[in-house]
Amino acid sequence: MRPATHIETLQPSYIREILSAASADGVISLAGGLPAAELFPCSLLEQAMTTVATQKNVFQYGETQGYAPLIAHLQSTYQLDERQSVLVTTGSQQGLDLIARAYINPGDGVVMEAPSYLGALQVFTVAQARIETVPQTEQGPDLAALAGVFATGNIKLFYAVPDFHNPTGVCWSLQTRLKVAELCDKYSVSLIEDAPYRELRFSGESLPLVSSFCSARAFVLRSFSKTSAPGLRLGVVTGPRDWLIPMVRIKQAADLHSSLPMQAVLLEILKHAEFADHLKNVQMHYQQRYHALVNGINKHIQSAVSFNTVEGGMFIWLELSKGNPEEIARKALAEGVAVVPGTAFYPGTNAASKALRLNFSHCSPEQLVVAIKRLNNII
Amino acid sequence: MRPATHIETLQPSYIREILSAASADGVISLAGGLPAAELFPCSLLEQAMTTVATQKNVFQYGETQGYAPLIAHLQSTYQLDERQSVLVTTGSQQGLDLIARAYINPGDGVVMEAPSYLGALQVFTVAQARIETVPQTEQGPDLAALAGVFATGNIKLFYAVPDFHNPTGVCWSLQTRLKVAELCDKYSVSLIEDAPYRELRFSGESLPLVSSFCSARAFVLRSFSKTSAPGLRLGVVTGPRDWLIPMVRIKQAADLHSSLPMQAVLLEILKHAEFADHLKNVQMHYQQRYHALVNGINKHIQSAVSFNTVEGGMFIWLELSKGNPEEIARKALAEGVAVVPGTAFYPGTNAASKALRLNFSHCSPEQLVVAIKRLNNII
């Protein structure tokens, strides 16, 4: 049977294509975006699973919007007023997909920073959006370019990852946050603020959500994959109450609701007295890993490279002075280290990036140093 | 922000609209399609949750296709040969949504029996399919009508619920199964065989899956909501291996994968020595409830009604000789019994049904009799 037309435009994912090679014995993978499994809150998960096992009501069908006690907890944690609401989703990936399905007609304009999160590119491609990109600076999106594309009057949504962007690790300055909110208001563009890495800050000061400056026209996507465990597949979308209604209707057709025992497990973890310490522990280890990676690059990479420093998240963006990043990634894999070429993070096929994305959350500091030594043999 | 155009064509669900009224104190609900919570395999669920709590690998990201040990178990249970494969989904509802997203272009022809499962109507509406219906007889779809619509040459998919249809409870005869498979082959129509109630047979002989007669052009959707617990949100799609590939790509954009701890819990339950006894227990209790409902109707309903006998599933279809079923359902709710008017199960708004759908899985035999007495006060 012939697939639907929009499938043909879906780019194959580089990361999925190299997945089996990257997970082969002896290969150190800096390619994926995996959290460190050894830092999962195992004891909290175990307690929560055991507690929830006897809560009979979570095994029946539930409300599409989510498990009411979890919604109440999040409404309070995020200090949402009554104009805002919460929708629990099967990972924040589903939150983004539901926004696209509920709001995008084929051809509608969506702006992203380039390079971009691949999962968002996939969602907007499936929705047949017209994807426009703006370049990224060290402070966030190029504001003149953003104003220019907004001013065409033809943009419905701006998708952004202001905290520790995937793939570049860039964290927007306060000034950029204020200006983007102002531009969204001025040009009536709705903001999708994707914040999966926000709680992975290990240095510097936390900055306000961009959406806090334009809450009447913004969705926030939050993930529990990086702070609890990704296997649970839970995220949430918050946003104006009436904006969530069409998404709830689509979600009813898409999967009725997300797993209730998992929502109850998540609530137990979030409410646990030890959760804050768990989060600090993850941040501390990611900081150590980041430093190991940076020191490894400074010490062992002999050719000219550059990278931005980061204060959190899971990635750095290593700019090469020469060479083809796809060829380098391929050769590095043969040398026992998996990385993703920057070209993989641009819509279309003619990206001119000379960068590599390096993940520092998944491997131990020792593995990261070995990986960098191997990488040096190639670049 | 203005929702996408296809949202406007989504019919509001009668069942969702009356949900709060139907779950009010004192109301007996025969409206939903809920399994009996008191028959859930609680001890198996508790054991499984406790076992899985310590399986660290299920808390990390996993494969989009599903948890490999569960896939291997199902591949063997369903005796799939190597041309067939399994995709684990967030409920079988998601399986249907993924088929639609991967294969339907706007305007593609999809055939359903009328009346129809509402969740399938929603999926095909969101996908902007051109929905054609064929009437249902006591043996299954009207074969002449089906051949007629297939012969237009303009049909891509036939969606069917051959075992204990929702809403009518009809179970297709063997002859109908053979003939439908033949028609699908003859007219190159792909079959979606939705089988959520197949394992809820409490009398008579199980008949082969329709897809067993045309496996090269058929998907089968299976639900664990009725045999294990719906809160888990797990179902599977089986079908030709290469037909599942575009669906896996869409699922990656939709939610990456379904909850892994839930998949591991399901596997523990399915492999447990007591699972077969649990299933027999559910079947026995549903049979008792069905008999209580039927005896209640025969004894207490004083006006002329008729209904088909069923050998399993969760519903009967009560045909009224007179009256407006929507008005009757509304009045019945005021009398303390929730039912769904047959008109809710037809696409469009001008359905001429005089029937009510009655669920017998959720309430106790005693409640069912009280519900029927209350219903008699109205019709």
Task: Quick: pLDDT tens for A339-369.
Answer: 999 998 988 765 678 999 999 999 999 999 9
Write the pLDDT tens digit of every residue in A251-284: 999 999 999 999 999 999 999 999 999 999 999 9
Look at residues B246, B271, B296 and tell me which one is the last residue of a structural domain: B271
B254 neighbourhood in chain A, CB within 8 Å: 93-94, 97, 254
Give the single-character DSSP code of B37.
G
Q: Which among B230, B253, B259 is the nearest to A123, CB-wise?
A: B253
SS (H, E, C) B265-324: HHHHHHHCCCHHHHHHHHHHHHHHHHHHHHHHHHHHCCCCEEECCCCECCEEEEEECCCC
- In a shared domain, residues B242 and B323: no
Find, in chain A, the residue whose alpha carbon is nearest to that of B8.
A246
- In a shared domain, residues A46 and A35: no
Confidence bin at B351 (pLDDT 50/70/90):
low
Q: Say how many C-beta atoms besides its own lie within 10 A of residue A51's C-beta.
A: 14
Q: Which among A4, A123, A253 is the nearest to B102, CB-wise?
A: A4
Distance from CA of A10 to the nearest CA of B (A): 8
What is the enclosing helix (H) or strand (E) of A130?
A: strand A130-137
Predicted confidence at residue A228, as pLDDT, reads 96
Confidence bin at B22 (pLDDT 50/70/90):
confident
Confidence bin at B349 (pLDDT 50/70/90):
low
Determine whether A320 is exposed, middle or buried from the number of CB atoms within 10 Å of its CB (0-12, 13-18, 19+): buried
The mean predicted confidence, pLDDT, of chain B is 94
Look at residues A247, A271, A295 and tell me which one is the last residue of a structural domain: A271
**Is the pLDDT confidence value at B43 over 70?**
yes
Write the pLDDT tens digit of every residue in B229-244: 999 999 999 999 999 9
Confidence bin at A111 (pLDDT 50/70/90):
very high
Distance from CA of A329 to the nearest CA of B (A): 23
Tokens read off for A175: 């000034």
- In a shared domain, residues A267 and A293: no
Dihedral angle, C-alpha B350, B101, A236, A67, nearest 10 °: 50
What is the residue range of A301's domain? Answer: 5-41+276-376
A10 neighbourhood in chain B, CB within 8 Å: 249, 253
**Mean pLDDT over residues A102-117, rounded?**
96
- In a shared domain, residues B47 and B36: no
- In a shared domain, residues A118 and A138: yes
Displacement of CA A318 from its chain's centroid (Å): 19
- In a shared domain, residues A87 and A196: yes
- In a shared domain, residues A92 and A210: yes
Number of domains in chain A: 2
Where residue B202 sits, what CATH number does that domain have? 3.40.640.10
Confidence bin at B254 (pLDDT 50/70/90):
very high
Size of interface A-B (CB pairs under 8 A): 208
Q: Which among B94, B125, B262 is the nearest to A255, CB-wise?
A: B94
CB contact under 8 A, A103 and B4: yes
Where residue B318 sits, what CATH number does that domain have? 3.90.1150.10
CB contact under 8 A, A256 and B119: yes
- In a shared domain, residues A266 and A281: no
Residue corresponding to tokens 């660290």 = B56
- In a shared domain, residues B353 and B364: yes
Look at residues A250, A271, A292 and tell me which one is the last residue of a structural domain: A271
CB contact under 8 A, B56 and A42: yes
Distance from CA of A374 to the nearest CA of B (A): 26
Tokens read off for A85: 């609401």
- In a shared domain, residues A267 and A319: no
- In a shared domain, residues B32 and B91: no
Tokens read off for B32: 């939903």
**Mean pLDDT over residues B1-18, rounded?**
80
| Cis omega (within 30 of 0) for bond into A115 | yes
How much is the ipTM here? 0.96
B40-52: string of b/e by CB count within 10 Å (b at 16+)?
Answer: bbbebbebbbeeb
- In a shared domain, residues A128 and A212: yes
Q: Which among A16, A49, A122 is the nearest to B53, CB-wise?
A: A49
